[in-house]
Structure 1
Amino acid sequence: MLSAMALRCFIVDDNATFLTAARTLLERDGCTVVGLASTTAEALRAVDDLEPDVVLVDVDLGGESGFDLVRRFQRETTVDGSRVILISTHAEEDLGDLLATAPARAFLSKSDLSGGAIRQILDGTARPG
């Protein structure tokens, strides 16, 4: 399924250093990073045209909220929540209620980010927690 083909990823994060590192890591894992955005506006403008398989969204976008962005994806773009993975350096437990109500497929700690982890989430083979 997705593991057999290059996974097309779009990453939204306000930290330029993380964007560069994440792109390098994912491309080494066989993913194609089709776009990067550091603000809500950039993400909303670009995501439909780039048609990613998955969108990785940092929960904290500086003065903006990644949770608000994923809700806007649902209302303003063709990106379905099943193609969104929220990412953060914060522990999953610290984000509990916000994650539970967010229209996203899953949460992935930035320290666990990899092409394999994303494929497991999308294929439904990721282990919970």
Structure 2
Amino acid sequence: MDMKIELVAIPVTDVDRAKSFYVDQVGFHADHDYVLSPELRFVQLTPPGSACSVVLGVGITEMAPGSQKGVQMVIDDADAAHAELSGRGVECSGVDEQDWGRFVYFADPDGNTWSLQQMPPR
């Protein structure tokens, strides 16, 4: 049986601010933005090259804004990722060198945290 993660909820306080951050600064693709009612807005965003998207909006999750911690994406080059994010105004860590990879960390405006991992050579 295959199981594929396709959608991860990101709890935010301001949907438009979060959408702008993820699309304009981090570089995610804006896939959908539907307002179905005053209590339900569905915004789906996808990182470039990813088969998994994120969803944010109104009425999407019961998690408190900022409580999604440590979502991880794999990248090819931690130095390039750091330079690109910094150049787009994203506050991020320097490159963290570990035996299991090279990492860059950042948080969205609500405090949801992300980890970017460059895998070590195999």
TM over 0.5: no
Q: Over alpha carbons, which structure has the higher Rg?
A: 2
TM-score scaled by structure 1? 0.28
Q: Which has the higher strand share?
A: 2
